[in-house]
Structure 1
């Protein structure tokens, strides 16, 4: 099967649904549809990370230009005039809209009227918002990206609306943003208060949710027989938005071990968001990713388990969780971009073991080590598990001394990522 862009539900699970004789023709057809749609995103994610990880002198060669890196005028205008929004939010939206218009006017004056078509792109960097804006739209079951984001349902500062999926997407995006802001002093996705756009009700019974890197927004399907409830899973939303954060910290090439680390980073920060929302210590938490997404009747507890990879589900209708928990079981594969969803369970368990050994809240020490590692500039685009392990050990020593480094090294050793001695 061809590799694809990241989404909440891994391709091996969708593929199992599509092939299992225990499922009806309707279910198998629906799963194939989800797989086919996912494949269309391959070029996007590859193009994005090819651009982000290329040598500086080659950037731009892939043709990737980030979109929506500033707040769209139409969104700010809507917020500034919305009667359901409080006065403070309206005032901030008017301020940011005025600032962007001033930047655009100065650019046009300097470059001439012929450059108007390039105004938004050229003005993106100077036009930094002081507030992060959220907006949720109704995709109205379209599968055409050109129709996104859709019709506006709820915007920053607006009270809850009648659409529960919209409210969940809005509130949980806020939980993710507050986690990054409060714990790591990171503003929105890009540390520049980038707007967070979401579209709900995508596709017809679409059993997935994903971050689209080219239109820079979250997209949620409604789910079907086995998989759904994506907007209510804060760890899933944390996972997907973290893919965008990774683009702005240590871009990891989305293939092989570096791709598995890309997935691992998203699982790690997604699970910390969930634990913070539920006010759980590392010891109290269940370490299950996407437990909200399995529908009643499914024999399983979640999409993945960081505590015990390979045990999240075992259902004849889509098989057994295939994630290994030790590097000794790592095998080269062409599927799933080199097993990016499959082998993320190995570093996932290393983080779990680290957090348990340190105790307390997972973001206090283990999470801080991982975050500072991503900020260190020591993570190469084609990073291997061993390189990442070494970087986290070095950062642990810097932050928490020899004892901290020993804790992290022991965790990596337990999952088979062992630095060999040549003595």
Structure 2
């Protein structure tokens, strides 16, 4: 049994930014709200998954289904092994790109399927209506058609498939916790193998590649070249509807935030850039040396659920030594890449997101901050503690024994609330909040 991990391609902060920067009656804002609502229903279906024994060699490696713009999974079979092209762009794109990432892991890493046991993969396209996302839900890959205004169909850039497939690989190997640095590593490893696969298909060297993730995902007129840049994090887009790409590429800019489960989509730019620097320093193709080093680290004993940047960096250096014992320069170049982004040479590691503790003298306000979700956009409200609303909220907070609340592990794309009042700061996941307090927080944010 493996814990199912639901990972979405579009971060919450991006969809929320679009909603917050368009009129309430704007059609595209409504589509983004619909995507967020669908994603929440997907998260509610998360459960433990048992894939059973390995598939027979003669079994189909993959099957593409269509949900026909519903949310029913897996849907109706649209293409299977030995079928001719379906004539449906999304179906045929998903078929091609799923074969490419399958073959990359098989040829480069000697890994069959996400679990390494040759288990067949299910892929569903045409999920939802105007759905602006793609995700691995713990047992299959799912792709929306986009809204046709900002996003095109999510099967179009082949590296979206590679990114989501790699989330499945991570689930069955290190199972990196989706919080803080381990969560950012989870995202980054998917980007790294998405970039490798794109370069592998195009026959590019590391120097020739553009190192963009999600290129071609945006519609014409959107001021974006891609969703992320591994070469230069923070430069992929700058559009009034999207905002500016918030990724960082160095520990000097590390966002030590409780938002977005500790900035998993923002700080992933740091290990992303380390991989880019490693691959270009080693030269040649990224799948020849850099990719095997990252895969060896991911599947080795030194990396586990709570590994941080420094732990993973050291694991990649050790993996390079093991894989290339006669070429010490490989490990040296890996170490230098991590040093360049400030991971191995940082004087102090960023502190983990806190879950309580004093923050100084009491102030006459109640401050609420909500972060996380798929796009990672945060919302906040500050309420006068002496106002009627502030007194009601303070009373609810005083009645809540936070030390006795359930504390479940951070979950991909769930909201996180931080509240400051009476000299305290408390951080808690939405799944652990009492219903009354959760409703009060939502009301305060909606009315702010």
The TM tier, using the shorter chain, reads 0.7 to 0.9
Q: Does 1:175 align with 2:159?
A: no
Q: Is the 8 A contact 2:255 2:266 kept in 1?
A: no
Unpaired stretches in structure 2, ≥5 consecutive residues: 349-448
More strand by share: 2
- Report the Cα offset of residue 402 of structure 1: 2.6
Task: Kindly indicate whether residue 140 of structure 2 is the aligned counterpart of residue 217 of structure 1.
Answer: yes
- Which residue pairs with 1:243 in the alignment? 167
Q: Is the 8 A contact 1:373 1:391 kept in 2?
A: yes
Structure 1 residue 197 corresponds to structure 2 residue 122: yes
Q: Say whether the 8 Å CA contact 2:216–2:226 is kept in structure 1.
A: yes
Q: Structure 1 residues 319, 369: closer, same or farther in 2, change over 3 A?
A: same
- 2:247 equivalent to 1:323: yes
User: 2:114 and 2:346 mapped to 1: Cα distance?
Assistant: 37
Query: Where do residues 19-168 of structure 1 align in structure 2 (5 Å cutoff)?
Result: 19-21=20-22, 25-42=26-43, 64-66=48-50, 69=51, 124-125=52-53, 128-143=56-71, 147-168=72-93
TM-score using structure 2 length: 0.73
2:54 and 2:118 in contact (8 A); partners too: no
Distance of 2:267 and 2:42 partners within structure 1: 21
Distance (Å, rounded) in 2 between the aligned partners of 1:37 and 1:217: 16
2-structure distance, mates of 1:183, 1:388: 20
Partner of 1:117: none
SS at match of 2:63: strand
For residues 393-404 of structure 1, what are the structure 2 equivalents within 5 Å? Answer: 393-400=317-324, 401-404=327-330
Question: Any idea what the Cα deviations from partners look like across 1:122-158, whole Å, max 9, x if unmatched?
Answer: xx22664454521111101113xxx211111111111
The structure whose residues are more often helix, as a share, is: 1
| TM-score (structure 1 length as normaliser) | 0.77
What is the CA RMSD across the aligned residues, in angstroms? 2.0
**Which residue of the other structure, out of 327, 339, 342, is the alignment partner of 1:416?**
342
Query: Which ranges in structure 1 are unaligned for 5 or more consecutive residues?
Result: 48-63, 70-123
Query: Which deviates more from structure 2 when the two are superposed, residues 152-161 or residues 15-24?
Result: 15-24
SS in 2 for 1:296: coil
Moved over 6 A (4+): none
The question of 1:406 aligning with 2:332 is answered yes
- Indicate how the Cα distance of structure 1 residues 291 and 23 shifts in structure 2: closer, same or farther if over 3 A, else same: farther
CA deviation after TM superposition for structure 1 residue 22, in Å: 7.3
- 2:124–2:143 contact (8 Å) kept in structure 1: yes
Equivalent-residue separation in structure 2 for 1:291 and 1:236 (angstroms) = 9
Partner residue, 1:363: 287
Shift of 1:199: 1.1
Change (3 A) 1:65 1:307: same
Secondary structure of the residue that 1:232 maps to in structure 2? Answer: coil
Q: Secondary structure at the match of 1:409?
A: helix
Aligned match of 2:191 in 267, 270, 295?
Answer: 267
3-state SS, counterpart of residue 355 of structure 1: helix
In structure 2, the partner of 1:51 is: none
- SS of 1:199's equivalent? strand
Structure 2 counterpart of 1:112: none
Does the aligned pair in 2 maintain the 1:233–1:292 contact within 8 Å? yes
For residue 231 of structure 2, the aligned residue among 307, 315, 319 is 307
Count residues in correspondence.
341
Offset of 1:419 from its aligned partner? 3.8
